Amino acid sequence: MGILRKIIVALVAATAGIATTAQAAAETRPRFTRIDTDAGGAPESAGERTFVELSGNGRYALFSVRSDSNMVPEPHRTDRPLGTFLVRKDLRTGGTLLVSVKEDGSPLRAEWRYSAIGWDGTTFAYATGISGLDPGYEGGVFHRDLDTGVHRVATMEGRWYFDAIDLSADGRWLTWSGLEEEGRDNRIYRHDLTSGETTVPVRCDAAVPFGGCWRSDGPLVSDDGTKLLFRYRAKPGDPLVLTVLDAVTGTLHSLPESGSYTLSGDGAWIFSVVRTGEYHFELKKVSTAPGATPVVLRTWAEDTATWAAGVTSADRTGDLVGHYWLSRAQDTFADSRALVHDRRTGREITLPEPRPGTAFIISPTISGDARVAVVEERCPWVTECGPLGIYAIQLRGLIPARD
């Protein structure tokens, strides 16, 4: 009987060990969550949804969707497409929240390309276009706090097109930029939500192509709202170069080279993928300090495989950098990759695909806290791969020595 008891105890211990091992493996296994879904988990229904941004804490995703999308909470959903709304998706619970609302809480059609979500997912900034669906609200810039409500920060005159909106991590600074339709007004605005003061640190107010300065692509803004990154020229004939604006001092300085680019949340580092040959690319970092020298982090050599590469995001400290690589064989989707560069170790991590062998993923967006990456599926050029999804990937277990 004693021998039998020992055998049973040994078997129980072994089984427990197997279960513990399996549990540990499950905890480190990549976890995919499709996030372009309604509160019940059903895929987005209207067929037009745009992932805008992740909250800094990685819990919430901001989407632009059609007003008749199932991602719009039912009380606000329309029976036919009537413009676009902004919706917050909770990556933990799956719930959705209508973000773009008027002061009275009723739905507001938002400009579908540019908006922002705060670090903890409870504050938002958005703008309205010229759809005419909300009379009296055209060209407005709005700030919403779930605790204090909605207020209009500014109204742009004439036919204004917004091309960037940003909220600082501490919730104090709201930055936006845009272009008046005829090219006369090309400005960056910076609004202090505490004092209510609005300044214009970049003002290019002459018609294209005969004017003076010109700005494009951005700005990207650091978490504290003080470093702004965009392409800029001081006068006609100058090349558009990647430029850093220090919003505190008002100084501008340009970088020696630029390709696709991103800015670390702390504003200390710029990452770019620069094309140095027909099929030769380099991932570089450079400090935002004036006079800094770029440093190569990764090279894709001239070869028969590389089609293109680009950088898309970085975490708050710039330790993790999201980028992608595309194969020259456009039908070989398995050769295109979404990647994360770990600057601490120099290692490059290929993000796993939700549907390997069917669709590839691109454009990794890393949350400020480095816990989550959002990726978008793409079909190879010559293959039909079915409905495409937008997925959140938990980075825990994928980045060595960071768990």
Global pTM reads 0.89
pLDDT over 70 (residue 210) = no
pLDDT over 60 (residue 27) = no
Cβ-contact 231, 217 below 8 angstroms: yes
Position 31 confidence tier, pLDDT thresholds 50, 70, 90: confident
Position 237 confidence tier, pLDDT thresholds 50, 70, 90: confident
Bigger pLDDT: 185 or 249? 249
Bigger pLDDT: 20 or 403? 403
Residue among 219, 249, 253, 60 nearest 146 (CA): 60
Mean pLDDT over residues 281-301, rounded?
A: 93
φ, ψ for residue 24, nearest 5 deg? -65, -40
Highest mean pLDDT range out of 34-48, 132-146, 345-359, 375-389? 34-48
The whole-chain average pLDDT of the chain stands at: 87
Mean pLDDT over residues 25-44, rounded?
A: 80
Bigger pLDDT: 102 or 32? 102
Percent of the residues in the chain that have a pLDDT greater than 70, as a whole number: 87
Q: Considering only 52-61, 150-159, 299-308, which range has the smallest mean pLDDT?
A: 299-308
pLDDT tens sequence across 38-54: 999 999 999 889 999 99
Dihedral angle of Cα 117, 196, 146, 137, to the nearest 10 degrees = -80
φ, ψ for residue 243, nearest 5 deg? -135, 140
Mean pLDDT over residues 259-282, rounded?
A: 93
Cβ-contact 390, 336 below 8 angstroms: no
Mean pLDDT over residues 135-152, rounded?
A: 94
How far is Cα 349 from Cα 50, in angstroms, rounded to an integer? Answer: 26
Position 19 confidence tier, pLDDT thresholds 50, 70, 90: very low
φ, ψ for residue 20, nearest 5 deg? -65, -40
How far is Cα 166 from Cα 168, in angstroms, rounded to an integer? Answer: 7
- Domain residue ranges of the chain, discontinuous segments joined by +: 260-403
Cβ-contact 326, 308 below 8 angstroms: yes
How far is Cα 284 from Cα 292, in angstroms, rounded to an integer? Answer: 12
pLDDT of residue 206: 64
Strand (E) or helix (H) holding 298: strand 295-300
DSSP string of 191-212, one letter each residue: EETTT--EEEEEEE-S-TTTSS
pLDDT tens sequence across 308-356: 899 999 999 999 999 999 887 766 655 789 999 999 999 999 999 999 8
pLDDT of residue 403: 54
Q: Considering only 32-41, 128-137, 348-357, which range has the smallest mean pLDDT?
A: 128-137
pLDDT tens sequence across 219-233: 999 999 999 999 999
Residue among 117, 40, 113 nearest 74 (CA): 40
Cβ-contact 338, 375 below 8 angstroms: yes
**Correct CATH for 260-403 of 3.20.20.60, 2.120.10.30, 3.40.1710.10, 3.40.462.20:** 2.120.10.30
pLDDT of residue 207: 54
pLDDT of residue 290: 93
Place of tokens 């039908």: 331
pLDDT tens sequence across 57-82: 999 999 999 999 999 999 999 999 99
